Chains A and B, each alone.
Chain A
């Protein structure tokens, strides 16, 4: 039996198929949760945003139309919800304004060394939290949602090159932060 696409599952859910939603939720719940967790760092706030997002999806199932991929639509809603939260809490989306580039670009990382991996991962997550909002957004959409750069550009209604540069800057900053750990 072939797997139903996200779009088909959403249409089935709109036709009162609760099972379709379960499959859809199982596919996307973890990346979406991590997307919020990386942005807000606070698990309670993350859970609140995560729940609000899925409730919105449930309510808007009758109005769903296949204009873009389900994943793009899902993360667009997630992005809007996050921006709203930022605005309500009077937080600036650009936490880091400096575009300082590091010349050091070498990390000796052995994947089989679990202890080292855990340690690096912990520092990386902290470093992601310190990234500017736009760079963190592009990095998470690319790494968590597995969206391509054109998809991210379409979603954020920005140019492709701008998205690519933001991603490039994000990696540079993460590298610098990891250099300090090493």
Chain B
């Protein structure tokens, strides 16, 4: 046992070897360098960690949601239609030329079919707002003939109704348009021209108005006048002078401008 202790003591007394100082310096320098690198890393990670952790995922999610919503909105708008915007443009154009368009159509109708009632579309087109027109057009899109009519209706009036070279021509044109519209309105009301027994003055006024306003009424009056005169001549030929004189008095009232003196003689 003491021998073992002796050996251990001899060993402890003789252990004096040390690593060379060059190795010490090298190892300590390496340690210093690694500390600097790790401190740099820590600083960079601290700089990075200034932004909250949820910043990146949240911003990414927001971008994704926004882009999807934009795409969906665009798709929805495409469904609602490109044609709708086109119709809005057309309707605004038609509203601008609304009055002239209406006149043109009413003139056409008056010439073609005076007794038929106009379609609601045609009646409302100039006065209704554009949105309502578009809605109705979208609903009636399936009906092809009506669609064609709409196209005709929506077509902007590019050709002028007439070419007025002077003031006189303009005035004449306005007069004819006014006459035409009045005639159409009278036909629409379906009220036949009747001679009502009223006071002579009123009858005269009414006759004046009717003759002044309506050229067609004037034409009917001349034919009536001729018929009345034929009836008068027939009575004179038959020798019924009393009835002839009564008719002359009536016709004098009815046709004050007409000269009945040869029939009285």
A interface, CB within 8 angstroms of B? 13-14, 16-18, 21-22, 25, 29-30, 33-34, 37, 47, 50-51, 54-55, 58-59, 61-62, 105-107, 109, 111, 117-118, 120-122, 124-125, 128, 143-144, 171, 174-175, 178
| Contacts A47-B19, A47-B23, A105-B3; A16 near B35 (Cβ below 8 A) | yes
Q: How far is the CA of A165 from the CA of B4 in the complex (A)?
A: 14
Of residues 11 through 56 on chain B, the ones whose CB sits less than 8 Å from some CB of chain A are 11-15, 17-20, 23-24, 26-28, 30-32, 34-36, 38-39, 42
Interface centre among B13, B31, B39 (most CB of A within 10 A): B31
Given the contacts A117-B13, A121-B14, A175-B3, A29 and B38 also touching, CB distance less than 8 Å: no
Interface size bracket, B side: 20 to 34
User: Is the beta-carbon distance between A13 and B28 smaller than 8 angstroms?
Assistant: no
Set of chain A residues within 8 Å of B32, measured between Cβ atoms: 18
Q: Taking the nearest CB of chain B, how far is it from the CB of A44, in angstroms?
A: 11
A124 to B6, CA, bound (A): 11
Q: Which residues of chain A have C-beta atoms less than 8 A from B4's C-beta?
A: 171, 175
Residues of B within 8 A of A16 (CB): 35-36, 38-39, 42
> In whole Å, how far is A20's beta carbon from the nearest beta carbon of chain B?
9
A-B contact pairs, 18 of them (CB 8 A): A18-B32, A21-B31, A25-B28, A29-B19, A34-B17, A50-B23, A55-B30, A59-B34, A62-B38, A107-B6, A109-B9, A109-B10, A111-B13, A117-B14, A144-B15, A171-B3, A171-B4, A171-B7
Most chain B beta carbons < 10 A, residue from A18, A25, A59, A128: A18
Q: Among B8, B15, B31, which residue has its beta carbon within 8 angstroms of that of A58?
A: B31
Q: Which chain B residues border A25 with CB–CB below 8 Å? A: 24, 27-28, 31
The residue of chain B having its C-beta at the shortest distance from the C-beta of A175 within the complex is B3
Is B17's CB under 8 angstroms from A143's CB?
A: no
Hey, which chain B residues are within 8 Å of A21, CB to CB?
Answer: 28, 31, 35
Check A18–B14 contact: CB distance below 8 A: no
Nearest CB in chain B: distance from A55 CB, A: 6
Bound state CA distance, A128 and B32, in angstroms? 36
Q: Are A122 and B30 in contact (CB under 8 A)?
A: no
Inter-subunit contact A122/B14 (CB<8 Å): yes
* B residues at A contact (CB < 8 Å): 3-4, 6-15, 17-20, 23-24, 26-28, 30-32, 34-36, 38-39, 42
In the complex, which of the residues A30, A106, A144 contacts B19, with contact meaning CB atoms closer than 8 Å? A30
Contacts of B39 in A (CB 8 A): 16
Min Cβ gap B175→A in Å is: 105
- Collect the chain B residues with CB atoms within 8 Å of residue A18's CB: 28, 31-32, 35
Please classify the interface of chain A as helix (H, G, I), strand (E, B), loop, or mixed, using the class held by over half of its residues.
helix
- Contact between B14 and A30, CB atoms less than 8 A apart: no
Closest to A29 in B: B19
- Max count, chain B CB within 10 A of own CB: residue among A50, A54, A62, A178: A54
- B195 CB to closest chain A CB, in angstroms? 121
A47-B27 Cα distance, complex, nearest whole Å: 12
Minimal beta-carbon separation of A117 from chain B (angstroms): 5
**Docked complex Cα distance between A30 and B16 (Å):** 8
The CA-CA distance from A162 to B173 in the complex, in Å, is: 133
Once A16-B38, A18-B31, A171-B4 are accepted as A-B contacts, the answer to whether A143 and B11 lie under 8 Å apart by CB is yes
User: Which of B3, B9, B20, B27 interacts with A106 by CB under 8 Å?
Assistant: B3
The chain A residue with its CB closest to the CB of B20 is A47
Q: Which residues of A are found within 8 Å of B23, using beta-carbon distances?
A: 47, 50-51
Whether the Cβ atoms of B12 and A143 lie closer than 8 Å is yes
Closest to B18 in A: A30
Which of B28, B36, B39 gathers most chain A CB within 10 Å?
Answer: B28
Residue of B nearest to A167 (CB): B4
Q: What are the residues of chain B within 8 A of A143 when measuring CB–CB?
A: 8, 11-12, 15
Contact B26 A124 (CB under 8 A): no
What distance in Å separates the Cβ of B36 from its nearest Cβ neighbour in chain A?
Answer: 8
**Which residues of A sit under 8 angstroms from B8, Cβ to Cβ?**
143
> Do the beta carbons of B17 and A37 come within 8 Å of each other?
yes
